[in-house]
C-alpha cells in the first residue's frame, strides 16, 4: 500500500514528465511555470488513495490524477487574474510575470489538457468519469462567480456562503475521490460515500482556513493573519458575527468592512475583538467539527478495509496549529 508521501512523489514525477511543445513559448512555458510552483497536491493524492482502496494497479489512475491537478491549477491561473493577485506560493502569478492574455490562454489550454488526460480511462467507465469531472468543473466556476458576487452583495446569508465554499473548494476534492473509486471498480455506494466524505471534508477545511486566517499562529499558518479581514471578505466568521451582533457591533463591522481607510493593525485587532466578544471562534470550530464528523461518518460507511491512509490524511489535514 502506498503512503501519502509516496503518492506525492509520484505526482511530482508525473508532472515533470509532461513534455510540452517549445512553441508558442508564451502558451506553454507559463503552464510549466505554474505547475512547478508546488502545492499540497491534495486532489490527485486523494484520487490515488481512493483508487488504492479497490485496485493495486495504480497506473490506470495516474493520468486522471494529473488531470485534476492540471485543472485545479488552471482555476488558480484565472482566479489570480480576477483577484488581481501579485503572488502565488511566494512567486509572481502568471498574469504578473507575463500578462492577462497569456494567463487566460494558457489556462484555457490547461483545461483542455485536463480533459485529454481524463479521457484515457477505460472506455466502459469513460462516460461516468467524465460526468463526475464535468459536474465538478462546472460547479467550481459557479462557486467562483458566487465568490465574486458576494464582494458587492450586502445581504449574503450563511447558507449562501456555505454553498459557495462547497462549490469553490469541496466539489473537486469530492470528485477526485469518486473518480478514483470508479476507476478502481468500486461499488456505486462506496463511490457516493467517498464523494460525500470529500465534500464535507472540503467544507470543514475551508471553515478551518477562515478561522486560522483570523486567529491562527502566523508562524505555523503560512499566511498573514488577518488577510481576509483586510480584504473585506465575508467569511463565515463575519457573517455569523453580523447575525449575532447588536446594533453598535453591527455598525462597527459594517464600517470596518467598507472601503474607508483604516490602519491595518487597528482594523484587524478591532474586528477580532468583536468576533471574540460574540464567541465566533468557538462557533466556527463547532460548525467545522460538524462537517468533520459528517466526513468521517461517510468514510466509515465505505466497505474497503484499506481506509487507514484516508483517516490519516484527514487527521493530518486538521492538525494545523491554531
Question: 101-141: per-residue pLDDT in tens?
Answer: 999 999 999 999 999 999 999 999 999 999 999 999 999 99
Q: Is the pLDDT of residue 322 over 50?
A: no
Cell of 155: 445581504
Beta strands 87-88 and 91-92 are antiparallel
The mean pLDDT of 236-264, rounded to a whole number, is: 92
- For residue 245, give Cα distances in angstroms to 44, 70, 254: 41, 42, 11
Query: Considering the entire predicted model, what is its pTM?
Result: 0.94
Give the integer Cα–Cα distance in Å for 101 and 123. 36
pLDDT at 243: 96
Instruction: Count CB atoms within 10 A of the CB of residue 319.
Output: 7
Does residue 272 carry a pLDDT above 50? yes
pLDDT at residue 150 in the model: 92
pLDDT computed for residue 221 by the predictor: 58
Secondary structure of 205-244 as H, E, C letters: HHHHHHHHHHHCCHHHHCCCCCHHHHCCCCCHHHHHHHHH
- CA dihedral of residues 277, 232, 41, 128 (deg, nearest 10): 100
Of 119, 136, 134, whose CA–CA distance to 183 is shortest?
119
Query: What pLDDT score does 259 carry?
Result: 75
Q: What is the mean pLDDT of residues 300-310?
A: 95
Average pLDDT, the chain: 93
pLDDT at 223: 62
pLDDT digits (tens, 9 = 90+) for 5-15: 899 999 999 99
Q: Band the pLDDT of 258: cuts 50, 70, 90.
A: confident
Three-class DSSP category at 150? helix
Tell me the pLDDT tens digit for each residue of 71-99. Answer: 999 999 999 999 888 888 889 999 999 99
What are 144-169's pLDDT values in tens digits? 999 999 988 888 999 999 999 999 99
What DSSP element (H or E) covers 6?
helix 4-17
Rounded Cα gap, residues 139 and 179, in angstroms: 16
Q: Does the structure show a pLDDT above 60 at 222? A: no
Q: Could you give the count of Cα atoms lying within 13 Å of 41 in the half-sphere of its Cβ?
A: 24
pLDDT interval class at 219 (50, 70, 90): low
Cell of 229: 479581514
pLDDT for 154? 82
> Residue 227: which pLDDT band, with cuts at 50, 70 and 90?
confident
pLDDT band at 321 (very low <50, low <70, confident <90, very high): low
The model's pLDDT over 23-65, given as tens digits with 9 standing for 90+, comes to 999 999 999 999 999 888 999 999 999 999 999 999 999 999 9
- Dist. CA 113–CA 243, nearest whole Å: 44
Residue 253 main-chain phi, psi, to 5 deg = -65, -45
Please report, rounded to a whole number, the percentage of residues in the chain having pLDDT higher than 70.
97
Which grid cell is 148?
A: 465574486
- Per-residue pLDDT at 1: 65
Amino acid at each position: 500500500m502506498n503512503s501519502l508521501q509516496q503518492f506525492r512523489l509520484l505526482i511530482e514525477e508525473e508532472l515533470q514528465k509532461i513534455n510540452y511543445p517549445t512553441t508558442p513559448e508564451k502558451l506553454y512555458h507559463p503552464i510549466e511555470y505554474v505547475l512547478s510552483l508546488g502545492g499540497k497536491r491534495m486532489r490527485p493524492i486523494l484520487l490515488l488513495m481512493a483508487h488504492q482502496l479497490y485496485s493495486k494497479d495504480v497506473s490506470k489512475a495516474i493520468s486522471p490524477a494529473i488531470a485534476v491537478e492540471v485543472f485545479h491549477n488552471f482555476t488558480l491561473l484565472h482566479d489570480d487574474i480576477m483577484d488581481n493577485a501579485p503572488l502565488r506560493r511566494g512567486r509572481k502569478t502568471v498574469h504578473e510575470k507575463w500578462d492577462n492574455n497569456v494567463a487566460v490562454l494558457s489556462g484555457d489550454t490547461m483545461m483542455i489538457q485536463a480533459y485529454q488526460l481524463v479521457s484515457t480511462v477505460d472506455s466502459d467507465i469513460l462516460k461516468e468519469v467524465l460526468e463526475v469531472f464535468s459536474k465538478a468543473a462546472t460547479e467550481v466556476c459557479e462557486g467562483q462567480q458566487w465568490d465574486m458576487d458576494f464582494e458587492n452583495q450586502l445581504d449574503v446569508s450563511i447558507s449562501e456562503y456555505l454553498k459557495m465554499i462547497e462549490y469553490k473548494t469541496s466539489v473537486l476534492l469530492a470528485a477526485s475521490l469518486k473518480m478514483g473509486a470508479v476507476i478502481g471498480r468500486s461499488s456505486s455506494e462506496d463511490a457516493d460515500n467517498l464523494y460525500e466524505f470529500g465534500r464535507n471534508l472540503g467544507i470543514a477545511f475551508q471553515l478551518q482556513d477562515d478561522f486560522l486566517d483570523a486567529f491562527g499562529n502566523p508562524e505555523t499558518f503560512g499566511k498573514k493573519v488577518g488577510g481576509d479581514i483586510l480584504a473585506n471578505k465575508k467569511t463565515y466568521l463575519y457573517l455569523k458575527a453580523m447575525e449575532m451582533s447588536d446594533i453598535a457591533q453591527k455598525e462597527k463591522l459594517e464600517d470596518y468592512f467598507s472601503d474607508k481607510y483604516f490602519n491595518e493593525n487597528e482594523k484587524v485587532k478591532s474586528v477580532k475583538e468583536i468576533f471574540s466578544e460574540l464567541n465566533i471562534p468557538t462557533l466556527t470550530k463547532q460548525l467545522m467539527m460538524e462537517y468533520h464528523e459528517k466526513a468521517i461518518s461517510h468514510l466509515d460507511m465505505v466497505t474497503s478495509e484499506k481506509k487507514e491512509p484516508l483517516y490519516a490524511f484527514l487527521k493530518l489535514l486538521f492538525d494545523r496549529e491554531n
